[in-house]
Amino acid sequence: MDNTEQVQAEQTAEKHHARPRTVIIVGASSGIGFETALRLLGRGYSVANISRTPCSLEHVKNYTADVAEKCALEKAISQIAAESDVCGLIYCAGFSMAAPIEYAQEEDYRYLFEVNYFGALRAIKSVAPHLKKKGGRIILVSSMGGTFPVAFDSFYSSSKAAVDMLVKAAALELEPFNIHVSSVQPGGTSTGFTFKRKVYGEEESRDYSAKVKRAAAALADMEQGGMSAGEVARQVADVFCNKKPPLLIQCGGWNKFFVAAGRFLPAKASLYINKKVYKQ
């Protein structure tokens, strides 16, 4: 190799080495995703955000995409992988609706599953080929609602239960490639998510309207009086940085206790507690 070729090789190697280790966060524009981005930046990672609105943190690179729009998420992940050294994915996007099963509109619950479940699935499918080269982390932000159903938010609870099962299955498949997959399960968390929930009114809820109203109010109070987004984000960041991350982890001591107790409670007892919590 002559001097010119050697210089070029060194420059290429230097350029490749300089590519930042990047964590893709889907939904870092607000709430838990925003706080997670802040903490990962503090731990030396580069962060790329995918969302409809940009993340306001100075050092986060934004890619605009609606996770429910076909191919938009995949294109954004491919672009990020072409520009940086992707070491992980954190999926924080979510949608919630308070509605009776009987009268829920198909377009609403299909959109919910597009955001909460199918978006997460497509994100895993898109990022896996890039992580398989060197290993990495995938975290899906789930919910305690996937373990204990939220009254009149049945579609949200169902989607989060599906997310947790997806995590278990993906962990089995991706472990041989040194890709660790985890689900972080917050309980009530004080964020703007509470005020973005679609709540069916009297006309839409019909004979369930009083119960829907009480359940939505109880859930809002639980969230706004619950953990801060920063506390949950610290847990997410800790899991991401853990050499042997847990498969499923609940945020907060009480939530861990409820999950442990739930293994021994009869199903009817669990439903009774649920009714009391959501004032049914």
| pTM to 2 decimal places | 0.90
pLDDT of residue 258: 72
Fold of the domain spanning 19-277:
Rossmann fold (3.40.50)
| Average pLDDT over every residue of 68-81 | 96
pLDDT per residue as tens digits for the range 35-46: 999 999 999 999
**What's the one-letter identity of residue 168?**
K
Q: Does 111 score more than 50 pLDDT?
A: yes
* Cα separations in angstroms, 36 against 41, 102, 186, 203: 9, 37, 13, 39
Q: How many Cα atoms occupy the beta-carbon half-sphere of 189 within 13 Å?
A: 28
pLDDT of residue 18: 53
Tens-digit pLDDT profile for residues 210-247? 999 999 999 999 999 999 999 999 999 999 999 999 99
End-to-end CA distance of the chain: 78
Residue 8: per-residue pLDDT = 42
Q: How confident is the model at residue 268 (pLDDT cuts 50, 70, 90)?
A: confident
What average pLDDT does the structure give for the chain? 91
